[in-house]
Structure 1
Amino acid sequence: MTVIPVTISRLQCEHYEVPLGIGEAKPRLSWRFAGEAKDWSQAAYELRITRSDSPHNTFRVESSQSVLVAWPSEPLVSAESVRVEARAFGSDGTITPWVGITVEAGLLEREDWTAVPITCEEQPTDQPRRPFRVRSTFKAPESCTNARLYVTALGLYEVHVNGRRIGDEYLAPGWTSYKHHLVYRTFDLSDVLIPGEENVVGAWVGEGWYAGRLAFRGGWRNNYGTRPALIAQVVVDGSVVCATGGDWTWNYGAVLNSELLNGETYDSRLADDTWSTSNTSVASWAPVTELLPPNAELVSSQAPPVREVDTLRPIEVITTPAGKTVLDFGQNFAGLIRIVRQPPQFSTEITFRHAEVLEHGELGVRPLRHAAATDTVICGGSLVGYQPKFTSHGFRYVEVAGWDGVGFDDIVGVVIHSAMERTGHFSCSHKLINQLHRNVVWSTISNTISIPTDCPQRDERLGWTGDIQVFAPTLNVLFDSSGFLKSWLRDVFVDQKALGGNVPVTVPDILDDFHNQRLAVWGDVTVLTPFDLYDSYADTDILREQYASGKLWLEKGVVRDRTTGLWDPEQLQLSDWLAPKAPPESPGDCPTDSILVADAYLIHATRTLGKIAQVIGENDDAARYSAEAQALTTAFYQEYVTPKGRVMSDTQTALALLLIFGIYPEPESGLLDPSEHAKRFGERLGKLVEKDNWKVATGFAGTPIILHALAKAGQLHHAYRMLQSRDCPSWLSPILLGATTIWERWDSMLADGSINPGEMTSFNHYALGSVASFLHSVVGGLSPVEPGWKRIRIQPQPGGTITSATMSFNSPYGLVKCEWRMERNDQEVERLEVEIRVPPNTTAEVILPGLSETNIKASPSLSQLPISLVPLLRAPLVQKEWNDGGVQQIYKCSHPPDIFG
């Protein structure tokens, strides 16, 4: 049997999970490789496009590019379906087999929509709106070759056709800036419709983010409108056979209310499983009310929908000191509960209260603030399979009242989030650090429900721009966030334009009270996050689409000192928010000068926008922003740094920012040489860390970079000691108190079992989990050298008491992996053994302590490596360029003991 050395493991259209109903007429294509070839690279590729009305066309391109390549054929038209196939030609003459997918356009023009929004009777606007159902019937053609449902809502929907729920989404269509973008989904009904017969299409409609209560301090309703509505149409073989309009009817059902923050009330006595079939009576159904078509653009989002990704069984049934029954699911997560067994007949009403923690043995609900997070079920009908429809909660514990004897097999927890592909995995020999990484993953899952949020439990759950700005590099490794963040950034720009250039602190923007706040770190998301996405996925379109947003922020959003061009020193800044030394009642009162943080970010953002301009061909802007960044740097040094290199705000955060952002004066400025500045900053940072007893002293701005800064400054031993510190504040101290997610504060739970008295006390915040970036790139040893991981750096830097680690990442080109372990030979000489895997069509730089050979071809096993790869103790640290092609390699080299620190 012939073994094919390289294959295409996945062909993808843009960043879509499934390319059904895409929003691009000329979609770009990508493919990943797999295989066991050595030194394999792509020399050319062919794309074969087969359209329904013509034979296939084959397009050959001489290129090594396999990520987001240009569409080679005529643009797609609305609802057009084409077959796309790809194969690659290796520089060694090998050819991969063809791999294909079907790509189908959505409704690309507004005139393709004949449906109008439909709603129920008017409901009071100052209280929760009761979810309602709408339905219609239509006769399907005798032949239904291709049937599609296009659907969205002003609010939330759940569609049923002929008694069958369509799709597996939760909280659809998600939260967008409804005044500008309204996301629709496309579903295949080809196997659902009954040809030649009457078919029933219906939907539940809830208030959701559109009209429901959102935000803190009691919140506010009707942020986008007062009347939730459905917009849907069914198209069969190119003809609209059913569309929402005045001929539809509506009725209420068993769901009495369903709020995002407060929970749901369900009356099982009113349940009717036949409501979306022809068997139900419609005598009580009333005509719907038509609304005007929305002004917002109807878009097909590249973000994956919110789905169930896991279920959890309780691990303990607790009777609290007050006699309450509490189920412990063993893991803090975001989602809901599902009843899997019928409650006893004597139950009349059951309530489920959700919370993240117990406080002195009772449910700890104070951090929820004004979110009730309570579901109520009225018994009398079947409850097997019941789960709330239009709400979610952040919780580990559920207090159950009204169900005596509830146990392990009665209820499960349903984990939901925007179901991005999991791409990054890390583990090591240190159990607590493994738990730390798991906590980061769980907080990421919990805070990616439709948008990147701060927390999933209390009366907030907002898309804070600062949180995702600092966390994006970590998210981009853990999950394929390309479509998720690309879609969210579109809303950032439209909401920013509505504020004249200022970037809202939350997107979608509902916080009117914050519109006058112009915040560095938060507003810099417009520049830094698109560039982080480009670095991870090599998507230049993200840079082009968001470039105007970044320019608008720097030129209209930033409030500047007219003399220096730096931030106006009178401007309020949050900067290093939630630094540990800030008091609970004043989380923005951080030790680091807030304007210094803002100015460091301004320099970094200006320089980064110059890089973006260069990538997309805006060369004049590139030169201008580069020169501006250097002028700002000069002003920064005049303001904050002494001639001998002492920073006026002498803190971990200030020094880390300068080191990571590379903020140094020009060599001919008359000040210290940049390398001397870097040396002094690094030495001082090490002293400060040691002085603080290796406890974390940084907030939002400093925490994501502090360990990276220490490693970059040659203070790796300090980085590892800080990482492994167990004293609060540290990354491991919450774990020792039982944390299963990342906390908002290092001491969200106090050592005596009391909840921190501060108002900002969440037990599920991913921001401080940005430390996982250090685990991925320094401990695990994987990072991109070129955008999209076309060129990879493999440089594990062991330290602390960690004796082994494994890091893998499913990059746009394929699987990258580094596995290392420390071993001792018979002579008690410590060795570092490294096993690596690099996908075909990429090149890796392997940098190891003691690797002295620089021109070694990849070999399939350790036994084939030359003896010179096992050098003498303390051999110099060098790097080697290596193009693998998928074969696992093992290198051994002596390990200098001083890097343990």
Structure 2
Amino acid sequence: MKIINLKINHIKNPLGFSLDKPTISFVACDTKANLQVAARIEVAYDKEFCNIVFDSGKSEQIDSLGFELFITLEPRTRYYYRVTVWADNGETAISEAAWFETAKLDESWNAKWITPTLDNKRHSVLSKKFNIQKSKRYINSARAYVCGLGLYEMNINGKKCGDEYLTPNFNAYNKWLQYQTYDITDTLAEGENSIDVALGNGLYKGRFGFDSEENIYGDKFALLCEVVITFNDGTTEIIRSDETWKARKGKVLYSNIYDGEVYDAGFEDDTTYDVEEIDLGHDRLKARLSLPVKIKETLKPLEVIKTPSGETVLDMGQNMVGWIEFRTNAPKGREILLQYGELLQEGNFYRENLRTAKAEFKYISDGGEAVARPHFTFYGFRYVKINGWYGEVNADDFTGCVLYSDMELTGHIETSNPLVNRLFLNALWGQKGNFLDIPTDCPQRDERMGWTGDAQVFSGTACFNMDTFAFFTKYGYDLGSEQEDRNGMIPMVVPAANLKGGGSSVWGDAATIIPWNVYVQYGDKSILEQQFDSMKAWVDYIWREDNASGSKRLWTKGFHFGDWLALDGEDPSFPTGRTDITFISSAYYYYSSNIVAKTAKVLGKTDIGKEYEKLSNEVREAIRDEYFSKNGRITINTQTALIISLFMDLVPEGKRERTINDLRERFKKDNNHLKTGFVGTPYICKTLSENGCNDLAYTLLLNKDYPSWLYAVTMGATTIWERWNSVLPDGKISGTDMNSLNHYTYGSIVEWMYRYMAGINPVEDNPGFRHIKLLPKPDYRLKYVKASYNSAVGLCESQWEITAEGKLNFKFIIPFNASATLILPDAKLENVKVNGKSLNDTLLISRQKNEHVYVELNSGSFEFYYEPEIAYI
């Protein structure tokens, strides 16, 4: 047995994170045992565990999905911890030591906020020289606690601190400011040392938002920096930002998230300028919640293209987010300009769909050999146009640096269909490109905002593809912060920046749906504890809107996006779709109030749970009265209305079959092609597979003509598009006003691929994959499917294959300390074999129910095969 994936608050070895409630999670694997019978958690000041600060002892109460440490944490302290697990077969294992280190906690700041006495638009570097009198061997540890506004990069003795970028990340700066912690022990030198902090605009003071405003959160660069050096004798030395620091003009002449950066490597100005204290206070400061944004992978150009118009263009082969790093030895003063775009038109470089975003990087050479990159911006691109290059353009001189939040990849799907495999990768790349500290709607144009609706729609897929617990915890904190002075209303984007308005259904329901999805996926209720007030406040906002319009238990007031970008609407200039907006809003009123009721019960808030359960039932009855005839016919005959009615259980009792038949008829009229937008699309295939229409779900998946998921794949897409027809069949872009080629929302189909195509489902009543509902639903149009998912309890695998003779083979891996209910389709109990034996001759609990065979499984590997009752060839 081995114990792996030790995490605190779902982060490995977190340094300087906010740890209000430190929660340990872990995974046990490589064992033939079935269950954990006990565990022990030890926490110490040292990795040898001589100085213990917490010892749970051998306990049956420790849950590997999340065990809260009830210890009083000290500031600026590293703790080591390890886990021992006892299994039901007598095996025991002890983990390697992991660690976490606290930030300043409630400790007061010695540092002051400072700003350069330069023009507010001039990018500056703030610096401090200091001496360490003692020998370096006497330094026990050194940490820097830093927040720079808008963005910053810190160097000590000429070396970049840390391996993350775009700090202090993106959040509602008027609500809270994150500071980062750096381990700089090995960076310091004996004698003189220097700190340099370069500052960029970011969304704090740079151009941002639909109105392209500047100075949204502030109009001055600012820095707070406190370096604490601890010596072996226990003494400390503190270097703090104050008026003794100096400023100089930086080599970054200009930066903006939308427009890019100008970097003059040859700029030299020895003039130093004073800094002055700026009154930003310390009350908004909070240890970081944001995961680091890192270069997670690199790509080399697929080819160097000479376009028909004579341009030199790099094709990276993949729509990606980050930047290009390049090597050059251009002569002094030579200007090299990189321009970024997503597609070619008639073979030429094109980027009109970026709207006003310039998306450039200008590098001015100092005459020496250099490796160049931007510092305070990022780009969404596949193609890069090169201007002013010195010498021959060689692909080896360029590297694509792929930037996203530091999340572990957890899921993978492979099928017999290469187009479906590419669709899965497109959704994954969409997540990589848009999960850059916040879940952005697009990473390339003059927007890049944390649209709540997009994040909500995609959250189920996101949790399968990557470990997103910490990512969504931070986003949820920001979302709740934005509600505080909006009386519970959720803005359209989070952080809200300068965008006014909000309160739309589906978008605002990110407040309830995302934390609930995360809880069910990971089984750790700490996200519900953090977000419960936010979740309830959102439903209370809707409730007040309802009461203000007559207490009909329908949501009839306010602005709503409806089924955004649906194809069945009548107004292409504002594509809300044909589904009645009040129906959609009221459906989500029911759905969110029901989630609040379930959340309250999970958290032991019984009375609140009953109150919101009563509310949700009232809303559902009002919807049934308003939108269904007495015979069960829904009055809104759209795909989205029918899908939502079934998925959210809005259909009147006894009328479900009628609605399913109506849904099939609707699709027949639509030539078995989707017409849905943001509301219907996430649930469309899930609902079909759950309601006896699995064949239609596969038809929608495998359609290759417009509108379909695979249409974009056949057109060469490497990410998910914003519109079903972002690019037309002739290769021309369909429009430039709102047309991102990296927009993950419709990638929500991948959740269906995990849950129904492969059949890997968590269970609400036993979350975190402690119990798994295995519900694979094969279709003859695919010959095999292989899916793996590193869940919160360990590795789950599900595979199926249709043999040449039409038999079904299934393979499953159930992780340690988990169980599963397997539902085999179109099977007869007496015909099923498992691991070479007749299922009836095993000790496995099984039963026949209609056309399915149900089997209860514990952890282990299983292979089932049988001849199905219907033809799969």
TM band (smaller chain): over 0.9
Query: Using the alignment, how far apart are the partners of 2:20 and 2:489 within structure 1?
Result: 32
Asked if 1:426 corresponds to 2:413, the answer is: yes
- Whole-angstrom distance in 2 between the partners of 1:13 and 1:98: 14
Q: Which moved more, 1:634-643 or 1:238-247?
A: 238-247
Question: Which residue of 216, 219, 222 maps to 2:215?
Answer: 222
- Distance change >3 Å, CA 545–CA 25, structure 1 → 2: closer
2:42–2:52: 8 Å Cα contact kept in structure 1?
no
> Partner of 1:351 in structure 2?
337
The alignment status of 1:260 with 2:253, answered yes or no, reads no
Q: Which residue of 2 aligns with 1:682?
A: 660
Spell out the pairing of 1:52-91 with structure 2 (5 A cutoff).
54-55=51-52, 58-60=55-57, 61-63=59-61, 65-72=63-70, 74-91=71-88
Which of 726, 739, 742 is equivalent to 1:748?
726
* Distance in 1 (alpha carbons) for counterparts of 2:647 and 2:724: 23
Query: Match of 2:513?
Result: 528
Provide closer, same or farther for how the CA distance between residues 800 and 287 of structure 1 changes in structure 2, counting only shifts above 3 A: farther
Task: Tell me the residue number matched to 2:778.
Answer: 798
SS in 2 for 1:687: helix
8 Å contact kept, 1:353–1:399:
yes
Q: Which residue of 2 aligns with 1:670?
A: none
Alpha-carbon distance in 1 for matches of 2:253, 2:367: 15
In structure 2, runs of 5+ residues without a counterpart are none
Structure 1, residues 614-666: CA drift from partner, whole Å, max 9, x if none? 1111111111111111111111112111111111111110011111111244x
Letter of the 2:141 counterpart: N
Provide the C-alpha distance between the structure 1 equivalents of 2:194 and 2:178, rounded to a whole number of angstroms: 24
- CA drift at 1:341: 4.2
Distance 1:866 1:554 in 2: 48
Partner of 1:669: none
For residue 346 of structure 1, report the CA deviation from its aligned partner.
9.2
User: How far off its partner does 1:759 sit?
Assistant: 1.3
Shift of 1:152: 1.6
Is 1:656 the counterpart of 2:664? The answer is no
CA spacing shift, 1:182–1:872, aligned 2, 3 Å: closer
Q: 1:498: Cα distance to partner?
A: 1.7
Cα distance in 1 between the residues matched to 2:538 and 2:694: 36
Alignment of 1:102 with 2:102, yes or no, is no
Q: Mean alpha-carbon deviation: is it higher for 552-561 or for 693-702?
A: 552-561
Q: Which amino acid aligns with 2:89?
A: D
Any residues of structure 2 matched to 1:607-626 within 5 Å, and which? 607-626=594-613
Q: Conserved in 1, the CA contact under 8 Å of 2:118 and 2:273?
A: no
Q: Which residue of 2 aligns with 1:551?
A: 536
Q: What CA deviation, in whole Å up to 9, does each residue of 1:737-763 have, x standing for no partner?
A: 111100000111112222112511110
Pick closer, same or farther for the CA change 1:248–1:121 going to 2, 3 Å: same
Q: TM-score, normalising length from structure 2? A: 0.94
Q: Which 10-residue stretch deviates more, 367-376 or 406-415? A: 406-415
Cα deviation, 1:454-509, whole Å, max 9, x if unaligned, reads 00000000000111011111101111111111011111111111222211000111
Asked if structure 1 preserves the Cα contact closer than 8 Å seen for 2:554 and 2:619, the reply is no
Residue identity opposite 1:438 in structure 2: L
SS at match of 1:409: helix
For 1:113, which of 103, 109, 114 is the aligned residue?
Answer: 109
Q: Among 365, 375, 381, which residue is 1:389 paired with? A: 375
Does the aligned pair in 2 maintain the 1:184–1:299 contact within 8 Å? Answer: yes
1:131 CA displacement: 4.4
| Mapped pair 1:598 → 2:585 | yes
Q: What is the aligned partner in structure 1 of residue 854 from structure 2?
A: 879
Alpha-carbon distance change, 383 to 416 in structure 1, aligned in 2, over 3 angstroms: farther
Residue segments in structure 1 that go unaligned for 5+ positions in a row: 1-5, 272-281, 666-673
How many residues are matched? 855
Classify 1:599/1:177 alpha carbon distance in 2 versus 1 (closer, same or farther; 3 Å). same
Q: 2:179 aligns with which of 173, 179, 184?
A: 184
For 2:546, the aligned partner's letter is R
1:296, CA displacement in angstroms? Answer: 5.0
Q: Structure 2 CA distance, aligned partners of 1:308 and 1:458? A: 21
Query: In structure 2, what residue type is equivalent to 1:547?
Result: F
2:788–2:795 Cα contact (<8 Å) kept: yes
Q: Distance between the aligned counterparts of 1:882 and 1:212, measured in 2? A: 56
Distance 1:240-1:620 versus aligned 2 partners, 3 A rule: farther
Say whether 1:845 aligns with 2:821.
Answer: yes
Would the alpha carbon gap of residues 136 and 287 (structure 1) be closer, same or farther in structure 2, given more than 3 Å must change?
farther
Residue 340 (str. 1) matches residue 327 (str. 2): yes
Retained in 2: the 8 A contact 1:846–1:882? yes
Contact 2:3–2:28 (CA under 8 A) maintained in structure 1: yes
Specify the alignment match of 1:832 in structure 2. 808
- Cα distance, 1:697–1:58 mapped onto 2, change above 3 Å: same
Judge conservation of contact 2:594–2:613 (CA < 8 Å) in 1. Answer: yes
Give yes or no for the alignment of 1:489 onto 2:476. yes
Secondary structure at 1:21's aligned position in 2? coil
Residue 327 (structure 1) aligned with residue 314 (structure 2)? yes
Instruction: Summarize deviations over 1:536-557 as a string: whole Å, max 9, x none.
Output: 1122121122111122112125
Q: Distance in 1 between matches of 2:125 and 2:77?
A: 34
Mapping of residues 143-292 of structure 1, within 5 Å: 143-195=138-190, 197-217=191-211, 219-237=212-230, 239-270=236-267, 284-292=271-279
Task: Report the secondary structure of 1:788's partner residue.
Answer: coil
Helix, strand or coil: the match of 1:270? coil
Q: AA paired with 2:45?
A: R
Asked if the contact 1:117–1:291 (Cα under 8 Å) also holds between the matched residues in 2, the reply is yes
Partner of 1:476: 463
Query: Cα offset for 1:410?
Result: 2.2
Tell me if the contact between 1:43 and 1:63 (Cα under 8 Å) persists in the aligned partners: no
Q: 1:596 to 1:866 in 2, by over 3 A?
A: closer
303-312 or 862-871: bigger deviation: 862-871
Distance 1:26 1:627, change over 3 A: closer
Q: 1:633 aligns with which of 617, 620, 624?
A: 620
Q: 1:731 aligns with which of 709, 714, 718?
A: 709
State the distance in 2 between where 1:631 and 1:260 align: 46
AA in 2 matched with 1:774: W
Distance 1:866 1:712, change over 3 A: closer
- Pair 819,240 (structure 1): closer, same or farther in 2 beyond 3 Å: farther
Rounded Cα–Cα distance in structure 2 between residues aligned with 1:140 and 1:452: 46
Q: Tell me which moved more, 48-57 or 395-404.
A: 48-57
Q: How far apart, CA to CA, are the structure 1 residues paired with 2:616 and 2:648?
A: 11
* Conserved 8 A contact 1:716-1:899: no
The Cα of 1:899 is off from its aligned counterpart by 6.9
Tell me the alpha carbon deviations over residues 9-43 of structure 1, each in whole angstroms, 9 at most, x when there is no partner: 222111223222232255111111111314x2111
Please say if residues 297 and 402 of structure 2, whose CA atoms lie closer than 8 Å, have aligned partners that are also in contact. Answer: yes
Q: Aligned to 1:402, which of 388, 410, 415? A: 388
Say whether the 8 Å CA contact 2:332–2:365 is kept in structure 1. Answer: no
Deviations 1:103-138 (A, max 9, x none): 2211111x43211222212425xxx54243433324
Matching of residues 804-815 of structure 1 within 5 Å: 804-815=784-795
Question: Is the contact between residue 762 and residue 768 of structure 2 (CA under 8 Å) also seen in structure 1?
Answer: yes
Aligned mates of 2:202, 2:291 — CA distance in 1: 18
Q: Distance in 2 between matches of 1:788 and 1:705?
A: 21
1:155 CA drift (Å):
1.1
Aligned equivalent of 2:749: 771
- 1:44 alignment partner in structure 2: 38
Aligned partners of 1:377 and 1:30: how far apart in 2? 46
Change (3 A) 1:434 1:482: same
Q: Which moved more, 1:689-698 or 1:642-651?
A: 689-698
**Identical residues among aligned pairs (%):** 32
Moved more, 79-88 or 186-195: 186-195
CA contact (8 A) 1:603 1:632 kept: yes
2:287 aligned partner: 300
Q: Which of 781-790 and 739-748 deviates more?
A: 781-790
Supply the distance in 2 between the matched residues of 1:896 and 1:131 (Cα, whole angstroms).
Answer: 73
- Give the Cα–Cα distance (whole angstroms) in 2 for the partners of residues 159 and 346 of structure 1: 26
Instruction: Supply the distance in 2 between the matched residues of 1:745 and 1:833 (Cα, whole angstroms).
Output: 37
Distance 1:150 1:896, change over 3 A: farther
